[in-house]
Structure 1
Amino acid sequence: MANLEKQYFHEGRVVSPNFKNMSHIRAKFESIGFDCLLDINEQIIPRFVLEFYCQLTFTYNPESQFVVNFVIQNKSFSLTLEEFGQILKIPFKGQASNTEMWSLDHLSVSVPSRGLYKTKPPSPRVIKSLIQVPRQGQETRTKNKKTIVVGENEILTREIQTHMKPWVDIIRENAICLGGHRDHVSACLCHMLYCIETSTPYNLAFFILKRMEKTRFKPKELLPYGMLLTRLFKHVVSVSPELAFDHYLSHDRAMHPLAPHYERKTRADRGKKRPRESNASSSSSSTLNHPSSSHLLDDSIEENDDESFHPNPSSPSQNISSSSNNVSRVHQNPPHESHYLNTYLSKTINRQTQQRDAHREGLRSIGQALKNMMGGKQK
């Protein structure tokens, strides 16, 4: 499953209870329902995740509700945003935002301006006053060995208020589900931090559905929300028991728990042998015994966003026990399943990509035909 996860899925991360000030984090998150991000602890069902994304569409119903439509084994499902939020146990009311951009200037143009999800976000100045450590001068960052000036309304990860840095890790992994560079904080993440700090409700279901919608047009992007979609699977088979086929196999999570201690992997470290298991176990044990000396991922980030960051493998005692609420007839994978599923996923994703390419080529052909027709009429 680890190999499959690296190729296809960003499944989310179970949050370790060893975060410093965990009781404070939970209290702040509970104020707007974001404690759901702390309690995600599901196995992942890769085949269901793939089928969900393969025929995923979005519409608005006559009541102006955002609706997600998907097909599982030729059976169609439609859920309003509110129903989707209730099933996944995530907030579905409050401020809504949807942008992948970095600058806070994009918030005001990315939020719904009318309808049920209309939002008036706080100004960049107000957001910065709450979540950013005041700057002492011009900030820069390094990208591809080039120095880039950071804009006034762009916030670097290292500039986030210290008590919010654990929030950033948790939200990135379980709400945004994006890999890549971590030296800066996206506008939507800043919006979420502001809402947590001020106890302002935030529509997490809207954000997640919009992330899913964008994933359809990015065939090379990892499929997000693996653990959350297990909750949707349980709902699907509860209303349609005939869909609980034996081929929907559950897998243990491949990602390490989101723990308070991280090990940075730099270019200098690449190619070096890992320490022996006994040394690694000793290091993990030391971390557990001295949580106050732990450092969050973002504390060690420098300006060069070309570096890659990896969690330090946790000892077994850091893992939260797996959920026992498995749906009947969902079985653990037999030894041959990973190879079988890898082949299945590869073929299906290739087919999906080809279908998208063919659709786009068809649209281009229609567009060219219309241009030719218009040109003939003008003559």
Structure 2
Amino acid sequence: MQRAKQRKKNVNVDAGSSTRKRRGKAIREPSPSPPASDEDMGNEDADVEVGSLGRIERKGILRGRKVIFKDVEVYNVKPLFLAFRWVNFLEIHCDSYPTLVKQFYANYRFDRDLKVFQSRVNNKTIHMTVQKFCEVVSLPTTGDEIYFWPGTMDDISACIDDPVAAYGELGCEGPPTDGSTNVSYNSLTPMCKVLHKILTSNITPRGGNADMVRPFEAFIMHRLLRGTPLHLGYILLRFMEDTRTKALASLPFGMLLTHVFNHEKLIQGGEERLSPATVFNAKTIKAMRLDIQGPAPPRRQPAQRFASQEFVAQELRAHRQHLDGHFTAVNQLLQSHHQEQLATQQALTGVRTEISTLRQDLGTAVTSLTEQLSSLTNLVHHLLPPDH
């Protein structure tokens, strides 16, 4: 029994090589490959050895959630993401491939100095710079490259001049003072609650309970409210690195990595796939117990809501006088136009009479001239000799 347990312990779940004995013979078996050197990280042609899935094999996939911005329009968060050019990323909606995602994370390495990552999926090496990654997944290539997940108050103080004011903008009374590093989600303003939900679904997903706001999440929300861009591609690749080193419960960015797999032509068909996750919409807001109509306006005092009869009578008299004045002015204007119309008609009648008289005089003159011309013609014929 003890030898059987020892043999089971020596068996590696993935690729590589190790040695164990069976019936007195040495047998070569897979074992994890050693990590590549820093020189290989900068070499696009260098092969990435297949690593051991280990705990990654048992992890779930966090696909991300498409944000339906029209359903959260009342909270005015879309302009914040538009300013950072993150909207396309938050609207990704496609299938995920769990097997490929797990291979990707099992072999993922990120060089912070060279800003290059490598991995290996389906026996093909993926080698990309941060800029190339951003181009593949349609992310901006600009912004401050700042990352300190999950972060401490020292990290916040190093990046923000006035942490107290920054947390105040989020709705908190200030940074945590009880020795902890997180603040409660319930202390956020309605807008920041929506922002935090979007962040924990797509940018800093970790699975499980998201009721606490980590310092790095508070920092991202502070930057969104201030309009100071961050380099999202750099943040995502660093978060992928922490997925391995900090043993997060799940593997993030399932739908995002589908774009990488399509670009590298790694999807061969027949792989296990997951349909897109539920979208972030009005139902999400309802589940968060936030009013889809937005924060309710403050209630008015009864004295302001119900006016006295005397006040109403005065307002009605004032409106009636105002309307009477307009009616009188309009009536006068109509009478003036009517008089002008009558004068115009009389003038037209006189013109018509004059034209008729001129026609008669012209006809008489034409008749008289015709008669005179005829008389002249007869006189000329009478005076001329017969031979002419």
Normalising TM by the smaller chain, what interval?
A: 0.5 to 0.7
User: Partner residue of 1:201?
Assistant: 229
After TM superposition, give the deviation of residue 98 of structure 1 in Å.
2.6
Match of 2:197 among 169, 174, 184: 169
CA distance in 2, matches of 1:23, 1:130: 15
Where 1:107 maps in the other structure, the secondary structure is helix
CA distance in 2, matches of 1:37, 1:104: 29
User: Partner residue of 1:72?
Assistant: 121
Where 2:119 maps in the other structure, the secondary structure is strand
Q: Is the Cα contact below 8 Å between 1:102 and 1:185 reproduced in 2? A: no
Deviates more, 1:199-208 or 1:83-92: 83-92
- Map 1:210-289 onto structure 2 (within 5 A): 210-218=238-246, 221-237=249-265, 243-253=266-276, 255-262=277-284
User: Partner residue of 1:347?
Assistant: none
**TM-score of the superposition, structure 1-length normalised?**
0.55
Encode CA deviations 1:148-198: one digit per residue, 9 max, x unaligned.
x74597432122222222111111100011123323211111111111111
Which structure: larger Rg? 2
Where 1:165 maps in the other structure, the secondary structure is helix
- The unaligned stretches of length 5 or more in structure 2 are 1-56, 297-388
Q: Is the Cα contact below 8 Å between 1:97 and 1:188 reproduced in 2? A: no
Encode CA deviations 1:354-376: one digit per residue, 9 max, x unaligned.
xxxxxxxxxxxxxxxxxxxxxxx
Structure with greater helix share of residues: 2
What is the alpha-carbon root mean square deviation over aligned residues? Answer: 3.4
- 1:21 matched to 2:73? The reply is yes
After TM superposition, give the deviation of residue 22 of structure 1 in Å.
5.5
CA distance in 2, matches of 1:102, 1:245: 39
User: Partner residue of 2:378?
Assistant: none
CA distance in 2, matches of 1:244, 1:7: 21
- Map 1:76-87 onto structure 2 (within 5 A): 76-87=125-136
Cα gap change, 1:10 to 1:121, in 2 (>3 Å): same
After TM superposition, give the deviation of residue 208 of structure 1 in Å.
1.1
User: Partner residue of 2:144?
Assistant: 95
Q: State the AA in 2 paired with 1:292.
A: Q
Cα gap change, 1:10 to 1:151, in 2 (>3 Å): same
User: Partner residue of 2:215?
Assistant: 187
- The unaligned stretches of length 5 or more in structure 1 are 110-119, 140-148, 238-242, 266-286, 296-379
CA distance in 2, matches of 1:150, 1:159: 15
Q: Is the Cα contact below 8 Å between 2:89 and 2:137 reproduced in 1? A: no
CA distance in 2, matches of 1:218, 1:160: 27
Cα gap change, 1:155 to 1:161, in 2 (>3 Å): same
Q: State the AA in 2 paired with 1:66.
A: K
Q: Provide the identity percentage.
A: 21
Where 1:14 maps in the other structure, the secondary structure is coil
Encode CA deviations 1:2-38: one digit per residue, 9 max, x unaligned.
xxx9951111112234533268221121001222343
Q: State the AA in 1 paired with 2:216.
A: C
**TM-score of the superposition, structure 2-length normalised?**
0.54
Q: Is the Cα contact below 8 Å between 1:67 and 1:81 reproduced in 2? A: yes
Select the structure with the greater relative contact order (CA < 8 A; seq sep ≥ 6): 1
Q: Is the Cα contact below 8 Å between 2:190 and 2:295 reproduced in 1? A: no
Where 1:212 maps in the other structure, the secondary structure is helix
Q: Is the Cα contact below 8 Å between 1:102 and 1:184 reproduced in 2? A: no
CA distance in 1, matches of 2:180, 2:83: 30
CA distance in 2, matches of 1:76, 1:121: 39
- Map 1:1-379 onto structure 2 (within 5 A): 8-17=60-69, 19-21=71-73, 24-60=76-112, 64-101=113-150, 103-107=152-156, 120-134=159-173, 150-151=178-179, 154-218=182-246, 221-237=249-265, 243-253=266-276, 255-262=277-284, 291-292=292-293
Cα gap change, 1:15 to 1:79, in 2 (>3 Å): same
After TM superposition, give the deviation of residue 218 of structure 1 in Å.
4.9
Q: State the AA in 1 paired with 2:80.
A: K
CA distance in 1, matches of 2:267, 2:278: 28
Cα gap change, 1:249 to 1:206, in 2 (>3 Å): same
Cα gap change, 1:201 to 1:245, in 2 (>3 Å): same
Encode CA deviations 1:123-150: one digit per residue, 9 max, x unaligned.
4234224223436xx98xxxxxxxxx74
CA distance in 1, matches of 2:250, 2:186: 26
